[in-house]
């Protein structure tokens, strides 16, 4: 080979390599500077590290000084398995048995999920509490894995379940305070943006964005856990004793409208909300509209007294328990010949109350009832509050006044009924009820603070005072509510025994027993309503609901440190001049 | 052509002093950058570890809070009382000391007056 040929070859190789290098250079320049944003973006994206910083939901606490925790976020584990190698190693039965026993899940279900040879992922259990997950981890089972998670926990179990509500699997409040205050409770998740190195690790000095998460705010309720427990225990006892279908109660601070306890039975465990039926989830205290029966006489008689149409001593003919009006018969539970207004309330005469309502007239009756917020929501800070049913005046029939006077043809919630009685206790002022006292941000700053708010004053101070005296007589000897008495206190209230409408007719066997009242009668502090749905065999408000009222009220005054009035006031029992009507 | 005097010519190439200074400065800055980079990396790693630890502690605190709340729930207390056969009563008049905001107790007269009023409602069983 000549020296010239070698040199030519060298030149060709050099040219070829030069061309190749130039090509690569062009490609490199094109990739970096050319119009290929999409490719460049893809490359950049593979190196971007983006993490959403989850925030724990705020806690919900009660009103007591101890700030008892009612709802809190807690770490949980999702337990999952890689079924393919598990099946290959022939350990499905053994693993399933051990996991089912430790995690407290159904063995057959676990076995079925694990016995999938073609799959590499199967949940065994989700939202497992840390202690159980730790016990499962100690077994050191092969192909079993644990993933961190967060779940809402309700340490008090089913206590206050209807007020608290629950949080669904998407972390959104789906009932009660959890739903109503979701915007405050949920907080704002943070964001972290950074770059990854070749080994897919975050390069800390390349953090381009770091938005710190804002923890959810804490919600403080007006409800006291201990009072709530007293109320719920009393309801449970009543449900069992009277074989009732349902029962509910509300305890309210009269001067402010704060709800101190609100309970409904049947109840559910919000930790396991999926297992609860719609019936169990219903907060009957605000979501069940019922015919109030005789408790409604309170609103009617206070209206008539406020208008000056009747006086406590005015006597009405109660027709010996059977009165034909507009071709319809109205009956009394016990027959009475003549009763004054005070005794109509004390003995709960339907005929007497109907005659008072007729005297008052439809328009004024409608005005007073609407003044007491019947037919409209009181604006409680919970979802699901019903407005009740009060037909428009134009749709009233000739007998409507006489039937509405005894709590028929009208629908109320327990909250509305309690509102009427609390207004009487509060010098005629209707207060807006509320369950959320304040919302506190994670830095201790108060974001929301509720103050007592008056909604209106349908009756005068003097009328309210008079009604307080008349209602006190209901729990005295000869009244229908003697079983609501509390030792050392004068209790004002009213019993209600309403026939339920079954198949379009008033039932002779299904009743709604209720008692609504307040104490101390002379200087009211707390109001309480108890409603028992379909109690058997006893069914009157005086025998079913009044004892529950007495039991709860007795403990509540002790717990709240409410003192009985001085004896001079307690013995006060006025009499009224009697006038025939 | 005259012969070059090798003794009079300089041996080797001398870098100009400014260039040397500039290169040294560059090297210094480079080293400092590397040093700071590794320091930042170390700090970042430490921050990440501390962040993880903080999250862990937060979670632990929530677990403890939850356990504590469960323990002191009225239902749990009542269960425990039943288990141990204990019955609680509300405190009697002479067992209550009402303290005013200024730290003093109520006067004897007021205590007696309240006592008379409370006498009828003393010692109600709480969990029978």
In a domain, A510, yes or no: yes
Same domain membership, residue A568 and residue A438: yes
Is B107 touching A (CB cutoff 8 A)?
A: no
By C-alpha distance, the chain B residue nearest A552 is B126
Instruction: Show which of A217, A252, A283 is a domain's final residue.
Output: A217
Pick among A564, A569, A570, A571 to test the B interface (most B CBs inside 10 A) = A564
Same domain membership, residue A239 and residue A189: no
Q: Would you say residue B123 has pLDDT above 60?
A: no
Number of domains making up chain B: 2
Separation CA A573–CA A331 (nearest Å)? 30
Separation CA A296–CA A494 (nearest Å)? 9
Whole-number mean pLDDT of chain A?
91
Is A139 touching B (CB cutoff 8 A)?
A: no
Same domain membership, residue B65 and residue B95: no
Q: For A561-566, what is the mean pLDDT?
A: 80
Report the pLDDT value the prediction gives residue A213, as an integer from 0 to 100. Answer: 87
Q: Would you say residue B122 has pLDDT above 50?
A: no
Cβ A69–B66 below 8 Å, yes or no?
A: yes
Separation CA B17–CA A319 (nearest Å)? 126
Query: DSSP for A30-76?
Result: HHHHSS-HHHHHHHHHHHEEEEEE--PPPPEE-SSTT--EEEEEEEE
Residue B110's pLDDT band (cuts 50, 70, 90)? low
Q: Would you say residue A321 has pLDDT above 70?
A: yes
Antiparallel, parallel or unpaired: β A446-449 and A436-440: antiparallel
Report the pLDDT value the prediction gives residue A223, as an integer from 0 to 100. Answer: 96
Radius of gyration of chain A (CA): 35
Report the pLDDT value the prediction gives residue B3, as an integer from 0 to 100. Answer: 66
Is B128 touching A (CB cutoff 8 A)?
A: no
Q: Would you say residue B125 has pLDDT above 70?
A: no
Cβ A555–B69 below 8 Å, yes or no?
A: no
Same domain membership, residue B67 and residue B25: yes
Number of domains making up chain A: 2
In a domain, A569, yes or no: yes
Pick among A133, A204, A489 to test the B interface (most B CBs inside 10 A) = A204
- Chain A nearest-CA distance from B31, in A, is 17
Separation CA A120–CA A109 (nearest Å)? 17
Contact A278, A264 (CB under 8 A): no
Is B54 touching A (CB cutoff 8 A)?
A: no
In a domain, B10, yes or no: no
Cβ B62–A73 below 8 Å, yes or no?
A: yes
Same domain membership, residue A336 and residue A255: yes
Say which CATH number the domain at A286 has. Answer: 3.40.710.10
Separation CA B11–CA A118 (nearest Å)? 79
In a domain, B3, yes or no: no
Which of A73-77, A389-393, B55-59, B88-92 shows the highest mean pLDDT? Answer: A389-393
Give every strand in the sheet of A492-502, ordered side by side. Answer: A259-265, A246-253, A526-533, A505-519, A492-502
Is B112 touching A (CB cutoff 8 A)?
A: no
Contact A71, A59 (CB under 8 A): yes
Separation CA A93–CA A112 (nearest Å)? 10
Q: Which domain holds residue B33?
A: 20-72
Report the pLDDT value the prediction gives residue A55, as an integer from 0 to 100. Answer: 84
In a domain, A4, yes or no: no
Q: Would you say residue A571 has pLDDT above 60?
A: no
Q: Would you say residue A395 has pLDDT above 90?
A: yes
* Residue A81, strand partner residues: A122, A144
By C-alpha distance, the chain A residue nearest B119 is A488
Same domain membership, residue A409 and residue A358: yes
Q: For A491-516, what is the mean pLDDT?
A: 92
Q: Would you say residue A566 has pLDDT above 80?
A: no
Pick among B56, B74, B119 to test the A interface (most A CBs inside 10 A) = B74
Is B117 touching A (CB cutoff 8 A)?
A: yes
Q: Please report the number of interchain residue pairs, chain A to chain B, with beta-carbon separation below 8 angstroms.
A: 91
Q: Would you say residue A132 has pLDDT above 90?
A: no
B window 5-34, beta carbon within 8 A of A = none
In a domain, A17, yes or no: no
Question: A578 CB contacts (<8 Å, ≥6 apart)?
Answer: A313, A314, A315, A340
Separation CA A293–CA A411 (nearest Å)? 10
Separation CA A152–CA B62 (nearest Å)? 11
Contact A407, A295 (CB under 8 A): yes
Instruction: Show which of B72, B95, B116 is a domain's final residue.
Output: B72
Is B56 touching A (CB cutoff 8 A)?
A: no
Q: For B7-15, what is the mean pLDDT?
A: 65
- Catalytic annotation on A349? no
Q: For A399-424, what is the mean pLDDT?
A: 95
Out of A181-195, A555-569, B112-126, pick the least confident.
Answer: B112-126
Whole-number mean pLDDT of chain B?
77
Residues of chain A with Cβ-Cβ distance to B70 below 8 Å are 155-156
Q: Would you say residue A435 has pLDDT above 60?
A: yes
**Three-state secondary structure string covering A237-265:** HHHHHCCCCEEEEEEEECCCCEEEEEEEE
Out of A196-200, A342-346, A441-445, A523-527, pick the least confident.
Answer: A196-200
Q: How many residues are present in chain A? A: 581
Cβ A205–B44 below 8 Å, yes or no?
A: yes
Residues of chain A with Cβ-Cβ distance to B75 below 8 Å are 156-157, 159, 229
Same domain membership, residue A448 and residue A370: yes
Report the pLDDT value the prediction gives residue B128, as an integer from 0 to 100. Answer: 45
In a domain, A561, yes or no: yes
Q: Would you say residue B118 has pLDDT above 60?
A: no
Query: DSSP for A369-427?
Result: HHHTTTTS----SSTT----B---GGG--TTHHHHHTTT-S-BB-HHHHHHHHHHHHTT
Q: For A126-145, what is the mean pLDDT?
A: 88
Contact A254, A454 (CB under 8 A): no
Separation CA B22–CA A192 (nearest Å)? 39
Is A67 touching B (CB cutoff 8 A)?
A: no
Same domain membership, residue A276 and residue A183: no
Q: Residue A204, Cβ neighbours under 10 Å: how many?
A: 17
- Residue A163 burial by Cβ neighbours in a 10 Å radius (0-12, 13-18, 19+): buried
In a domain, A44, yes or no: no
pLDDT tens-digit map of A154-181: 999 999 999 999 998 888 999 999 999 9
Residue A437's pLDDT band (cuts 50, 70, 90)? very high
Q: For A533-540, what is the mean pLDDT?
A: 93
Is A487 touching B (CB cutoff 8 A)?
A: yes
Residues of chain B with Cβ-Cβ distance to A226 below 8 Å are 74
Pick among B41, B61, B73, B106 to test the A interface (most A CBs inside 10 A) = B73
Percent of chain A with pLDDT over 90: 68
Q: Would you say residue A279 has pLDDT above 90?
A: yes
Question: A37 CB contacts (<8 Å, ≥6 apart)?
Answer: none
Q: Would you say residue B117 has pLDDT above 60?
A: no
Report the pLDDT value the prediction gives residue A39, as an integer from 0 to 100. Answer: 80
Q: Would you say residue A334 has pLDDT above 60?
A: yes
By C-alpha distance, the chain A residue nearest B40 is A205
In a domain, A83, yes or no: yes
Residues of chain A with Cβ-Cβ distance to B69 below 8 Å are 68-70, 72, 155-156
Cβ B69–A554 below 8 Å, yes or no?
A: no
pLDDT tens-digit map of A38-51: 887 888 888 888 88
In a domain, B29, yes or no: yes
pLDDT tens-digit map of A190-246: 998 888 888 888 877 788 888 988 889 999 999 999 999 999 999 999 999 999 999
Q: Would you say residue B113 has pLDDT above 70?
A: no
φ/ψ of A454, rounded to 5, equals -85, 135
Query: E strands of A229-352, at which residues?
Result: 246-253, 259-265, 314-317, 322-325, 328-331, 338-340
| Candidate from A69, A203, A229 with C-beta closest to B69 | A69
A223 token code pair: 């409800």
Cβ A204–B47 below 8 Å, yes or no?
A: yes
Report the pLDDT value the prediction gives residue A203, as an integer from 0 to 100. Answer: 79
Q: Which residues of A131-151 are buried (b: 16+ CB within 10 A; e: fewer)?
A: ebbeebbeeebebbeeeeebb
In a domain, A35, yes or no: no
Q: Would you say residue A578 has pLDDT above 70?
A: no
| Catalytic residue chosen out of the listed positions A294, A349, A400, A514 | A294
Angle between helices A225-241 and A546-560 (to 10 degrees): 160
Same domain membership, residue A147 and residue A99: yes
Q: For A493-513, what is the mean pLDDT?
A: 90
Same domain membership, residue A500 and residue A360: yes
A178 token code pair: 């959890």
Contact A519, A487 (CB under 8 A): no
Is A566 touching B (CB cutoff 8 A)?
A: yes
In a domain, B107, yes or no: yes
Same domain membership, residue A250 and residue A175: no
Q: Which domain holds residue A521?
A: 225-580
Say which CATH number the domain at A164 has. Answer: 3.90.1310.10
SS3 state of residue B39 = helix
Residues of chain A with Cβ-Cβ distance to B77 below 8 Å are none
Cβ B117–A567 below 8 Å, yes or no?
A: yes
- Cα torsion A157, A162, A165, A166: sign: positive
Cβ B74–A225 below 8 Å, yes or no?
A: yes
Is B41 touching A (CB cutoff 8 A)?
A: yes
Is A61 touching B (CB cutoff 8 A)?
A: no
């Amino acid at each position: 080979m000549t020296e010239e040929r070698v040199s030519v070859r060298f030149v060709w190789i050099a040219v070829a390599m030069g061309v190749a290098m130039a090509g690569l250079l062009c490609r490199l320049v094109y990739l970096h500077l050319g119009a290929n944003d999409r490719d460049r973006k893809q490359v950049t994206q593979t190196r971007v590290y983006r993490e959403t910083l989850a925030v724990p939901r705020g806690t919900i606490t009660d009103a007591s000084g101890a700030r008892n925790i009612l709802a809190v976020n807690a770490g949980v584990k999702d337990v999952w398995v890689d079924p393919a190698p598990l099946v290959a190693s022939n350990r499905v039965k053994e693993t399933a048995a051990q996991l089912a026993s430790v995690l407290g899940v159904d063995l057959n279900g676990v076995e079925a999920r694990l016995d999938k040879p073609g799959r590499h992922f199967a949940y065994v259990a989700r939202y497992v509490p840390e202690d159980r997950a730790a016990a499962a981890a100690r077994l050191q089972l092969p192909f079993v894995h644990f993933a961190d998670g967060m779940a809402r926990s309700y340490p008090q179990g089913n206590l206050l379940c209807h007020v608290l509500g629950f949080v669904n699997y998407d972390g959104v409040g789906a009932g009660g305070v959890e739903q109503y205050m979701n915007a405050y409770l949920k907080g704002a998740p943070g964001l972290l943006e950074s770059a990854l190195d070749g080994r897919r690790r975050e390069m800390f000095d390349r953090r381009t964005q770091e938005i710190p998460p804002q923890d959810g705010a804490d919600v403080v309720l007006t409800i006291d856990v201990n009072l709530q427990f007293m109320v719920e225990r009393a309801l449970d006892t009543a449900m069992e004793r009277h074989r009732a279908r349902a029962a509910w109660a509300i305890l309210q601070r009269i001067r402010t409208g704060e709800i101190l306890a609100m309970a409904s039975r049947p109840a559910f465990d919000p930790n396991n909300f999926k297992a609860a039926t719609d019936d169990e989830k219903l907060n009957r205290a605000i979501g069940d509209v019922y015919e109030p029966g005789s408790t409604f006489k309170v609103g009617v008689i206070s209206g008539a007294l406020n208008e000056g149409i009747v006086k406590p001593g005015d006597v009405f003919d109660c027709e010996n328990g059977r009165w034909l009006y507009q071709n319809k018969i109205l009956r009394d539970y016990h027959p009475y010949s003549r009763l004054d207004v005070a005794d109509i309330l004390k003995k709960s005469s339907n005929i007497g109350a109907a005659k008072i309502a007729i005297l008052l007239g439809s328009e004024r009756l409608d005005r007073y009832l609407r003044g007491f917020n019947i037919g409209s929501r009181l604006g409680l800070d919970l979802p699901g509050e019903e407005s009740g049913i009060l037909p428009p005046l134009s749709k009233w029939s000739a007998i409507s006044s006489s039937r509405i006077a005894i709590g028929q043809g009208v629908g109320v919630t327990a909250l509305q009924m309690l509102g009427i009685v609390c207004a009487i206790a509060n010098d005629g002022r209707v207060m807006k009820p509320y369950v959320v006292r304040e919302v506190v941000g994670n830095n201790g700053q108060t974001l929301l603070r509720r103050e007592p708010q008056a909604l209106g004053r349908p009756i005068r101070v003097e009328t309210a005072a008079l009604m307080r005296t008349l209602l006190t007589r209901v729990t005295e000897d000869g009244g229908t509510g003697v079983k609501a008495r509390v030792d050392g206190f004068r209790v004002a209230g009213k019993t209600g025994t309403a026939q339920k409408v079954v198949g379009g007719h008033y039932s002779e066997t299904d009743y709604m027993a209720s008692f609504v009242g307040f104490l101390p009668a002379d200087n009211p502090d707390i109001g309480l309503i108890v409603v028992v749905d379909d109690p058997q065999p006893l069914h009157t408000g005086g025998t079913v609901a009044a004892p529950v009222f007495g039991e709860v009220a007795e403990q509540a005054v002790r717990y709240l440190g409410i003192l009985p009035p001085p004896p001079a006031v307690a013995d006060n029992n006025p009499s009224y001049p009697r006038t025939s009507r | 052509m005259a012969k070059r005097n090798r003794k009079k010519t300089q041996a080797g190439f001398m870098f100009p002093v400014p260039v040397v200074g500039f290169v040294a400065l560059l090297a210094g800055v480079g080293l400092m950058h590397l040093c700071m980079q590794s320091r930042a990396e170390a700090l970042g790693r430490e921050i990440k570890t501390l962040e993880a630890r903080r999250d862990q502690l937060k979670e632990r605190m929530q677990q403890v809070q939850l356990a504590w709340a469960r323990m002191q729930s009225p239902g749990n207390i009542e269960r425990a009382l039943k288990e141990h056969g204990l019955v609680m009563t509300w405190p009697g008049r002479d067992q209550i000391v009402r303290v005013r905001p200024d730290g003093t107790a109520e006067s004897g007269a007021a205590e007696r007056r309240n006592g008379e009023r409370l006498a009828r409602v003393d010692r109600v069983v709480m969990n029978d």
